[in-house]
A and B are shown apart, each in its own frame.
Chain A
Amino acid sequence: DIQMTQSPSSLSASVGDRVTITCRASQSISSYLNWYQQKPGKAPKVLIYAASSLQSGVPSRFSGSGSGTDFTLTISSLQPEDSATYYCQQSYSTLWTFGQGTKVEIK
């Protein structure tokens, strides 16, 4: 199975800060990488698909980059509503695997 390693596991930042979350795959997954935002009691919401494509309706302060094994989710200017847990997911293999999640808190 392809292992996905996310870092950090949690972070605390202020409104307006630039926030970066990284995800590393155990083997090359090309651009088959999705990013999700999940708030308590809610289903995961797709933010970014295919490593860098912004899902319709998602604010432009969210962006994704990377290919191969190393990927990044960036929030350019953190907003209060961005408090959530973020997951990366590889779809290169039919057997999807997910990162362990990054909990983002607002200072």
Chain B
Amino acid sequence: EVQLVESGGGLVQPGGSLRLSCAASGFTFSSYEMSWVRQAPGKGLEWVSYISSRASSIYYADSVKGRFTISRDNAKNSLYLQLNSLRAEDTAVYYCATVAFDPHWGQGTLVTVSS
């Protein structure tokens, strides 16, 4: 069974940093492209970032470009999102998801940016 478990969320002050992790199991993680998606409170879904299976291609939404960094460790079956220079508008639940014909999503981790 495909499982994606996000962690690392929490309360951080504006300008601060966080590192989110996504632990994958139940499939060959190293063969899958992955994405992060976020959802601000009461809002819709927003794609954040993409990474190819070997990390040779990486893309970001304009809203996070230059502040967020996606990475992966295929040996550890893990996906990461480094969040820097955080703003109030980055407050959201962050989900990791497989980029596949039949996508799978994790349960999400909440990031709150507030002083």
**A residues neighboring B (CB under 8 Å):** 34, 36, 43-46, 49-50, 53, 55, 87, 89, 91, 94-101
Contacts and interface: CB of A to CB of B under 8 A. Distances in A.
Contacts of A34: 103
A94 B50 contact: yes
Given A43-B95, A95-B50, A95-B61, A49 B44 contact: no
Interface residues of B, number: 22
A50 B102 CA distance: 8
Given A43-B95, A43-B107, A43-B108, A98 B102 contact: no
Interface string B81-103: 00000000000010100010111
A72 to B, nearest CB: 19
Contact of A46 (B103, B106, B107): B103
A95 B57 CA distance: 12
Given A43-B108, A44-B45, A96-B35, A91 B103 contact: yes
B37 interface: yes
9 A-B pairs with least C-beta separation: A96-B47, A98-B45, A43-B107, A49-B102, A94-B50, A101-B44, A43-B108, A100-B44, A43-B105
7 contacts: A34-B103, A43-B93, A43-B106, A43-B108, A44-B45, A50-B102, A98-B46
Nearest to B35: A96
Interface SS, B side: strand
Nearest to A97: B47
A98 B95 contact: no
Contact of A55 (B47, B59, B95, B102): B102
B104 interface: yes
Contacts of B47: 95-98
Interface string B32-58: 010101000000111100100000010
Contacts of B102: 46, 49-50, 53, 55
Contacts of B35: 96
A91 B61 contact: no
Contacts of B108: 43
